[in-house]
Amino acid sequence: MRHLLLAVTFALAAAARAADAPPAPRAVAPGTAAPDFTLTGDDGAKHSLSDAKGKYVVLEWFNPGCPFVKRHYGTKNMQSLQKTYTGKGVVWYSIASSAEGKQGRLTPAAAAKTRGKLGMSARILIDEKQDVARLYQARTTPHMFVIDPKGNVIYMGAIDDLPSTDWSDIKSAHNYVSAALDAALAGQPVAKTVSTPYGCSVKY
């Protein structure tokens, strides 16, 4: 009997001393829960993803100095998307994740100015330490995530199917974000749930 005891001790030793390492963060994927975060906005207030439970949420990685971002703001494409969908009750966060000293680094005050100048309906959030960018493995500006009212990712990837910095071709692009939101808001399944994001690198 004591032999069995020894063997069982092996098992218990493992189980009893559990939890000294947090499980590795799971990669964000369509159909899985979008990890929660709290960031300071251009309004100086704290904003949490979990506050928006029950609503659709768009996360847009944002760097106003990036030519790909300029393409969407210079043509008012992004502003009009933001206006349309925030008008339908969607929460839109433009996340500025640039590291200290890098292009696109914003303070809340500078973000408020940028937001006014560009005419954005989205709230700019400051990801000061790039923690949220790492959490979502954000690679590019723009890099888009659409989250449903239950908090699950329903789309992640590029803003559209035309990787370019050219302002003239934006009208001919197929916009994945509006496609996902239109389908979801109409109660339809989202056809394309993941694509390869394009743009400038997030300035880690």
Partner 1 sequence: MRYHGRVKASLALALALGAAPARAGMVDASLVSSRAAVRPGEVFDAGLRLKMRGGWHVYWKNPGDAGLAPRLAWSLPPGWSAEPFAWPAPRRIETPPLTDFGYDGEVLLPLRLTAPSDARAGESARLTATADWLECRDVCVPGRARVSLLARVAADSRPDEAGTAAIDAARAQVPLPDSEAAEGALWDGARVRLRLRGRVPLAEFFPEEPGVFENARSPVSVGPAETELLLSSAAGVGSPARAAGVLLRPGRAPVEIDVPVRAGGAAARFLLLAFAGGLLLNLMPCVFPVLAVKALGLLARGGQSPAVARRHAAAYALGVILSCELLAAALLVARSAGAALGWGFPLQSPWLVAALAALFAAAGLNLLGVFEFGTSIVGTGAGLSAREGLAGSFFSGVFAMIAAAPCTAPFMGAALGWALTRPAPEALAIFGSLGAGAAAPYALLTSWPALLKRLPRPGKWMVRIKQVFSVPMFATAAWLVWVLWRLASPAASPDALWRSWSPEAVASARAEGRTVLVDFTAAWCLTCQVNERTALATAEVRAALARPDAAAFRADWTARDARIAGELSRYGRDGVPLYVVHPRGGPAVLLPELLTERLVLDALGAGPEQKTEGGKTP
Contact positions vs partner 1 (CB under 8 A):
2-3, 6-15, 17-24, 27-30, 64-68, 70-71, 73-74, 102-103, 114, 117, 134, 137, 139-140, 156-157, 163-167, 193-204
Measured from the CB atom, the residue of 12 and 185 that comes closer to partner 1 is: 12
**C-alpha separations of 34 from 10, 135, 155, 163 in Å:** 37, 9, 11, 25
Measured from the CB atom, the residue of 83 and 134 that comes closer to partner 1 is: 134
Rounded to the nearest whole angstrom, what is the least distance from the CB of residue 53 to partner 1 in the complex? 22
Rounded to the nearest whole angstrom, what is the least distance from the CB of residue 49 to partner 1 in the complex? 18
Query: Strands 57-61, 91-96: parallel, antiparallel or unpaired by DSSP?
Result: parallel
Measured from the CB atom, the residue of 47 and 165 that comes closer to partner 1 is: 165
| Among 133, 115, 121, residue whose Cα is nearest residue 37 | 133
Measured from the CB atom, the residue of 9 and 107 that comes closer to partner 1 is: 9
Rounded to the nearest whole angstrom, what is the least distance from the CB of residue 42 to partner 1 in the complex? 15
Could you give the 3-state DSSP secondary structure of residue 107? coil
Measured from the CB atom, the residue of 18 and 45 that comes closer to partner 1 is: 18
Q: 179, 97 in Cβ contact below 8 A?
A: no
H or E segment and range at residue 182: helix 176-185
Enter the tokens of residue 134: 């790492």
Rounded to the nearest whole angstrom, what is the least distance from the CB of residue 50 to partner 1 in the complex? 22
| Among 161, 47, 162, 56, residue whose Cα is nearest residue 95 | 47
For 98, phi and psi rounded to 5 degrees? -60, 140
Rounded to the nearest whole angstrom, what is the least distance from the CB of residue 110 to partner 1 in the complex? 10
